[in-house]
Structure 1
């Protein structure tokens, strides 16, 4: 082999070794004390690697401006109450999207800044005025050059801020909601959409009924349970069982809104399935991915309704620790305490 060829091979090998992804996340807050209406947190995300990153705008991450539970906030007095939205989202599906709204692409050295207005998202009343530590989820999904969905962990730098004066404000969903449960109803839905929702609601009620029947006779760890909720523990089992009992037939006595997501300034309509205000257990907002989903099966319309119903405080206040079947199964093994409070885990049972 000639010296030139050897040199080319060495250069190619050196490039492959050096070509590595990297991210740095900086969370900056106001330097002086502010009330909740003026609480704007600035997230700066920089590509510190030497490959372009096609990042998913996961609603749990700083790349989404939706008022989801993006930040980890704490003080010596505890943590503020989350009062924002819970969202159904599937990274593996979003990764296939042809919509630019699904992604944020950062070239090597490129940075992006995103302002997050936290008014209506967190209630600081129970902790009171004082200094708070702010952080955020630093694991990001990205699509590599081969089209494979991967994750990357960003280095993170966070800061303190001081909250004083007004400690809470009502978001527009809670402020305008009625908590009276009625028969199945619709807001801004076409005749075809109403028909699809009715079919999905019936199937969702059947899924919950099946789960209740299964759980009622469970006294030890069986594969179906442990796959999604981990090692059997009586206390954790009781929590899961109570969630499904609370959901009951809620799917068929819900108001389904087909229009809000279309006009929501911060929601990625094509790649979001649905969202709810956990404090308003009578309304589910439907988005673009919901209409492309099958009626039943994995990440279906019926499953989405189960997922969203589990979020309501009245049903158990289940969260979104992870999305997708693979990560839900991994969570069951690594952290059963989080798995029993994960909405996708309930949907997939």
Structure 2
């Protein structure tokens, strides 16, 4: 079943369609869909290339249900650098582009049933809003969501390696000494320093929030929007849990990632394992997008900690998110990192 929805984005019409490669899947067949974007507007659209996953999915781009029950995304969530021109795919007026996406490895399809799938993504982190690149008069802001109607299929339940690993991690013994996989001695030293920095960042955040006045502050509102006592309480809980990881949990680090535009990624249901990528090694020790800040970001993603998502990347987009949607800012990993790094310093 092919489904299409059109949304008016920045004065352009972008449609998205989903087409399963089969109507029924055995437990030996990967469940895959063809994802197609079409620009039906008069101006080009610039889409960040990680929204063309080419089988391997690194973001929860889809909502899925099985016989009416929500199916969990168990794949990775990624901290990327602030996007630059080479991270974009230009979709000209009237043109289409498609990619094949493998779903069964990153969604919990362990039970047999009728599955309904739809594309569901916030436009903000998906499309470039640069006036210079789009050749429009001013930068644009959007909190719109691009959603497709559901596509349906039948699938036999199958095992999932990520779910198996998450169960294994939950039952294994704990050690406060970090473990490393294919990390050099130099990398291990850098990670150790980053853990100390992240612990300091998160502790400082706790202390700041605990002493904050009830009216909010510039630092608070810049990253988390309009002050509320309930949001403040949530943040205190989140940062306490983040800090607790660096001081009391067994962390592991994998140094095999080679994605150049990426700092790190985690599987939220596999605590507390962090995959470190090239942008992490070149990140500063102080300032913005630091090594320690990256660990704060990634640790916030774990379901057992704060369960954050990536609604916005980079300081500019995070500031915009705080103004337009404080609730999402509260659940945005980069917002937590930038609040902790506090660079430039805000009171």
Q: TM-score of the superposition, structure 2-length normalised?
A: 0.77
Q: Which residue matches 1:141?
A: 127
Q: Which residue matches 1:281?
A: 271
| 1:167 to 1:335, Cα distance in 2 relative to 1, 3 A | farther
Higher mean C-alpha deviation, range 222-231 or range 131-140: 131-140
| 1:281 to 1:131, Cα distance in 2 relative to 1, 3 A | closer
1:98-144 Cα distance to aligned partner (Å, 9 max, x none)? xxxx3434455543321111113222579x83352412326333487
Q: Which residue matches 2:151?
A: 160
| 1:75 to 1:249, Cα distance in 2 relative to 1, 3 A | closer
Q: Which residue matches 1:45?
A: 37
1:234-268 Cα distance to aligned partner (Å, 9 max, x none)? 33222221111111153465222111x13xxxxxx
Q: Confirm or deny: 8 A CA contact 2:122 2:311 kept in the other structure.
A: no
In the alignment, the residues of structure 2 paired with residue 132 and residue 313 of structure 1 have an alpha-carbon distance, to the nearest angstrom, of 24
1:57-106 Cα distance to aligned partner (Å, 9 max, x none)? 23xx344633421113357834211211111013xx33055xxxx34344
Q: Confirm or deny: 8 A CA contact 1:227 1:332 kept in the other structure.
A: yes
Q: Which residue matches 1:94?
A: 83
In the alignment, the residues of structure 1 paired with residue 146 and residue 331 of structure 2 have an alpha-carbon distance, to the nearest angstrom, of 27
1:119 aligned residue (104, 121, 134)? 104
In the alignment, the residues of structure 2 paired with residue 167 and residue 54 of structure 1 have an alpha-carbon distance, to the nearest angstrom, of 37
Q: Confirm or deny: 8 A CA contact 1:181 1:282 kept in the other structure.
A: no
**Pairs within 5 Å for 1:1-349:** 23-30=14-21, 32-34=23-25, 38-48=30-40, 55-58=47-50, 61-63=51-53, 65-74=56-65, 77-90=68-81, 93-95=82-84, 102-123=87-108, 129-137=113-121, 139=123, 140-142=126-128, 146=132, 157-166=148-157, 169-171=160-162, 174=165, 178-179=169-170, 180-218=174-212, 220-223=214-217, 224-251=219-246, 253-259=250-256, 261-262=257-258, 269-349=259-339
In the alignment, the residues of structure 1 paired with residue 334 and residue 20 of structure 2 have an alpha-carbon distance, to the nearest angstrom, of 32
Deviation at 1:200, TM superposition (A): 1.6
| 1:187 to 1:131, Cα distance in 2 relative to 1, 3 A | closer
Q: Confirm or deny: 8 A CA contact 1:82 1:121 kept in the other structure.
A: yes
1:261-288 Cα distance to aligned partner (Å, 9 max, x none)? 13xxxxxx00011000111212110111
Deviation at 1:195, TM superposition (A): 2.2
Gap runs ≥5 in structure 1: 1-19, 263-268
1:137-161 Cα distance to aligned partner (Å, 9 max, x none)? 2633348795579789897654421
In the alignment, the residues of structure 1 paired with residue 97 and residue 68 of structure 2 have an alpha-carbon distance, to the nearest angstrom, of 33
Query: What is the CA RMSD across the aligned residues, in angstroms?
Result: 3.3
Gap runs ≥5 in structure 2: 1-10, 340-347
Q: Which has the larger radius of gyration?
A: 1
1:21-78 Cα distance to aligned partner (Å, 9 max, x none)? 65432222256244675321210123445666554223xx344633421113357834
Q: Which residue matches 2:3?
A: none
In the alignment, the residues of structure 2 paired with residue 292 and residue 172 of structure 1 have an alpha-carbon distance, to the nearest angstrom, of 32
